[in-house]
Structures are given as structure tokens and as C-alpha cells.
């Protein structure tokens, strides 16, 4: 049969049977919506702790007992000792910059926010921050906030934040690829705000681009001159801890996605088998007048796949709307915002699974029917 003739009959049949086709598409859409939404949640948690590769050249020194950077405590002598080890092992140009960072996790308006204070020149150049709007802090009472933090709290440039009896002015909105709600300020501003003199939480060594960062990390940790009681981390390793903290939520999200997958298989199978139950006699007549089983199966497959495709596109649209709606209620754990979105992988996998289960439904039902006597089918 020519493809054009096949297509013509397919559309004509769907139009003739439009009432039932619409019913099938609507119920399939609702099932696929559940699947896509569940997969999107699963994606949120899988991506939660992973930081995009930013090309960061930072090695972070922290107390070895600290799970949260806020628990860490070091001073300049430790940081300098670490820098000296790298200089000794990899040469005088191996370290581009050495600077301290004060880190706090704070509750502001009932939400968890991170506050990071680093020297101004490192804030502007050293931390993969992009100024999207406004200006960098000029004084100790000025801060810039990541766009996630601004959005979450409904802040805008020019607003003032009351933190620990200090009135801080937001001068800029910055982008940080990790998607964390962070208030950035100058190091001296942080010292004043938290009333600290020598101590800080994270020591940052910016390593020259010609060196392999993991090699420097291992060498540093194993060197006998590296101070005891401290550990060295890559940026990515610290962010992975967030994934660890919510690891069981990933499990829960995965269960929901797996469940939705079962639903999608049953849902499409249901649609296919119903069509078969309804059209037993039609199919038997087609077989009687000479249509081969394969042609009929192909026709039914095409019909089911077309319905499923339309339902999938509709469901995609509905979930996109849900994702936009969910922006109003972002999921925030430990200052990191997770936003519901549909990744291309989820969409493609969803489409593939939907089509496969629809095909399976058609195959199973047509296979069962082909074993039946033609006369019996005609009589039903």
C-alpha cells in the first residue's frame, strides 16, 4: 500500500471515529502529563547537587571535620602554608591568587540564604560571577545578590536588608551558575557584619590553568607540610554534598517517575486494547476482503501512534505550564533553588517509552486476535 493512501485512510478513519479518538487522546494526555511531571521532579533532584562545569580553577581549604562550610575555621597562616606547598611542588607561578572567604548560612525571611564575603577584587574576577544589573559593592554596607536569591525573596536593586543589626544595600544582581541563593559582600564588610577578625571559613587557592587541578589537590593533601586538620576540595565536590543530603528524596522522586512509567504503559495499552475490542468486526471484515494481518496491524499501529503523538504534544504543553506555575513555589533546600523543568532527555525518553508502550499494546492485542477464528470474529 502506498504511503499516501495509507495516510489518507488513517486520517479519514480518525475523523470518522472522532468522538472516540478525542476521548482516547484526552485520557492519554492526562496519563502522559503525570509521567512527564514525575520525571521532571526526578530530574530536579538528580541535578540538585551538581554544579555545571564552570572551568573554576579554585581549590578550597576547609577544616576536615566540617560538613557545612560554616563549621570550618581557619586563618591566614593555614592558607599561606597551603599556598607555600603548591609553590614548592609546582613552581612560583602555580598559584594565581590566594584569598579568604567568610561563609555563613543564614535564615532571612524564613528562607535559607548563604552569605559569602571575599576581597572585592576576587569578588569581581575570581568567583565566576557575572554582574547582570547594577554595580559591584563599593563599601562594607553594600552587597550583590544572585538572581535566585533576588527572585526568591522578591528583592530588587536599591532594597535594604536588615541582617544582624546591619542595614545592607543591594547594589547589584549577579549570576552564579550553581543556582544558589547567595548574598555576596566584601571581605571587610563580612568581618564587620559577623564581628570576626582573623578567622574565616574557606581558604581559596586559584591554581594556574596549565596545571591539573585534581593532581594539585592530591599532592597538597598528601604533603607533610600541609597543615593537619584541614582538607582540600574542588568546587564540584562541595556541591555534591548537597546531592548527598537529599539523596533519599531522589529515591522518592525516582519511585514516582517509575510509577508514572507503569501508568503510561497501562494507559496506552488500555487505549490500544479498547480500540481492538470495539473494532473486532471491522478488522475481521477487512481480513475477509483480502487485507493481510500485517497491513491491518500496521494500520492500527499508525492510528494508535498518531493519537499518542498528539496526546504527547498536548501533555508537553500542559507540563510546560505546570513548570511555569511552579516557578512561584521553587523548591529550596540549603539555599539551593531547584526549578522544575523538562529536559530534552526527559522529553525524548518519555516520547520513546510512550510510543513503545503504545506499539506493545497494539501488538499484544492484534496478536491475541489473530489466533481467533475469522468466522467467530465476524459473528461477535
Partner 1 sequence: MLAMIRFSLQDMVRHYKPWLAMAALVAATNLIYLGLGGYRSALQQAFGKLPYDDLIAQESNTTGEFFGSRLSPEIGDRLLAMGISRVIPEIHDYTGTSITNITILRGIDLERYQQVNSFKIRSGRALQPIDAQRTAMIGWRLAARLSLLPGKQITLRGRQFLVVGTFQTGTYVDNEAWISLEDAQALLGYGKDVSIFIIPDEGILKAGDTLPGSVSIVKRGLGPQITRTQFEPLFRIIELIYYALGIAAILTLANVLFRMAWIHRRELAILRCVGFQSRGMVVYLLTQALVLTWVGVILGTLSTALLFSFESTYLVGMTLNPSIGLQTGIAGLGQSTGIALFGSVLPAWWFSRLNLANQLRSE
Interacting residues toward partner 1 by CB under 8 A: 20, 23-24, 26-27, 30-31, 33-34, 37-38, 41, 64-68, 70-71, 73, 104-108, 110, 112, 163-165, 195, 241, 244-249, 251-252, 255-256, 259-260, 262-263, 266-267, 269-270, 273-274, 277-278, 318, 322, 326, 329-333, 340, 365
Pairing mode of beta strands 58-63, 230-234: antiparallel
Closest separation in Å from C-beta 13 to partner 1: 16
Pick the closest to residue 354 from 294, 271, 274 (CA basis).
Answer: 271
Closest separation in Å from C-beta 209 to partner 1: 30
Residue 147 vs 166, nearer CB to partner 1: 166
Closest separation in Å from C-beta 126 to partner 1: 26
Q: What are phi and psi of 59, to 5 degrees?
A: -110, 130
Closest separation in Å from C-beta 7 to partner 1: 25
Residues 124 and 120: their CA atoms lie apart, in Å, by 6
Closest separation in Å from C-beta 23 to partner 1: 5
Pairing mode of beta strands 58-63, 202-207: antiparallel
Residue 183 vs 211, nearer CB to partner 1: 183
Looking at the DSSP assignment, which residues form a beta bridge with residue 103? Answer: 116
Residue 30 vs 306, nearer CB to partner 1: 30
- CA Rg value for the chain: 30
Residue 178 vs 315, nearer CB to partner 1: 315
Residues 170 and 130: their CA atoms lie apart, in Å, by 15
Closest separation in Å from C-beta 344 to partner 1: 20
Pick the closest to residue 180 from 323, 340, 341, 332 (CA basis).
Answer: 332
Residue 96 vs 164, nearer CB to partner 1: 164
CA angle 95, 178, 203 (to 5 degrees): 30
CB 103 within 8 A of CB 202: yes
Residue 274 vs 355, nearer CB to partner 1: 274
Amino acid at each position: 500500500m502506498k504511503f499516501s493512501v495509507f495516510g489518507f485512510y488513517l486520517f479519514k478513519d480518525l475523523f470518522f471515529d472522532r468522538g472516540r479518538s478525542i476521548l482516547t487522546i484526552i485520557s492519554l494526555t492526562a496519563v502522559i502529563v503525570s509521567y512527564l511531571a514525575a520525571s521532571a521532579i526526578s530530574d530536579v533532584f538528580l541535578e540538585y547537587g551538581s554544579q555545571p562545569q564552570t572551568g573554576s580553577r579554585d581549590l578550597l581549604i576547609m577544616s576536615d571535620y566540617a560538613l557545612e562550610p560554616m563549621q570550618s575555621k581557619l586563618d591566614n597562616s593555614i592558607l599561606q602554608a597551603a599556598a607555600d606547598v603548591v609553590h614548592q611542588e609546582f613552581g612560583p607561578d602555580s598559584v594565581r591568587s590566594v584569598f579568604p572567604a567568610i561563609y555563613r548560612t543564614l535564615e532571612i525571611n524564613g528562607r535559607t540564604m548563604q552569605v559569602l564575603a571575599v576581597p572585592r577584587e576576587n569578588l569581581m574576577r575570581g568567583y565566576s560571577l557575572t554582574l547582570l544589573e547594577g554595580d559591584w559593592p563599593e563599601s562594607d554596607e553594600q552587597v550583590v545578590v544572585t538572581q535566585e536569591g533576588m527572585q526568591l525573596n522578591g528583592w530588587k536593586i536599591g532594597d535594604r536588608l536588615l541582617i544582624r543589626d546591619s542595614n545592607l544595600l543591594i547594589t547589584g544582581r549577579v549570576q552564579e551558575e550553581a543556582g544558589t541563593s547567595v548574598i555576596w559582600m566584601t571581605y571587610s564588610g563580612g568581618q564587620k557584619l559577623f564581628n570576626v577578625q582573623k578567622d574565616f571559613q574557606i581558604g581559596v587557592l586559584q591554581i594556574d590553568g596549565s596545571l591539573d587541578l585534581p593532581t594539585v589537590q592530591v599532592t597538597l593533601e598528601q604533603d607533610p607540610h600541609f597543615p593537619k586538620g584541614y582538607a582540600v576540595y574542588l568546587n564540584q565536590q562541595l556541591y555534591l554534598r548537597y546531592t548527598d543530603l537529599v539523596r533519599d528524596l531522589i529515591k522518592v522522586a525516582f519511585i514516582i517517575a517509575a510509577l508514572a512509567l507503569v501508568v503510561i504503559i497501562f494507559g496506552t495499552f488500555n487505549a490500544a486494547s479498547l480500540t481492538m475490542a470495539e473494532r473486532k468486526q471491522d478488522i475481521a471484515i477487512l481480513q475477509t476482503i483480502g487485507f493481510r494481518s500485517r497491513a491491518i496491524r500496521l494500520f492500527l499501529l499508525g492510528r494508535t501512534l498518531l493519537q499518542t503523538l498528539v496526546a504527547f504534544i498536548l501533555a508537553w504543553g500542559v507540563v510546560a505550564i505546570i513548570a511555569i506555575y511552579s516557578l512561584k513555589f521553587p523548591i529550596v533546600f540549603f539555599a539551593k533553588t531547584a526549578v522544575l523543568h523538562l529536559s530534552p532527555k526527559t522529553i525524548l525518553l518519555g516520547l520513546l517509552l510512550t510510543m513503545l508502550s503504545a506499539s506493545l499494546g497494539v501488538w499484544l492485542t492484534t496478536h491475541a486476535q489473530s489466533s481467533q477464528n475469522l468466522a467467530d470474529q465476524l459473528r461477535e
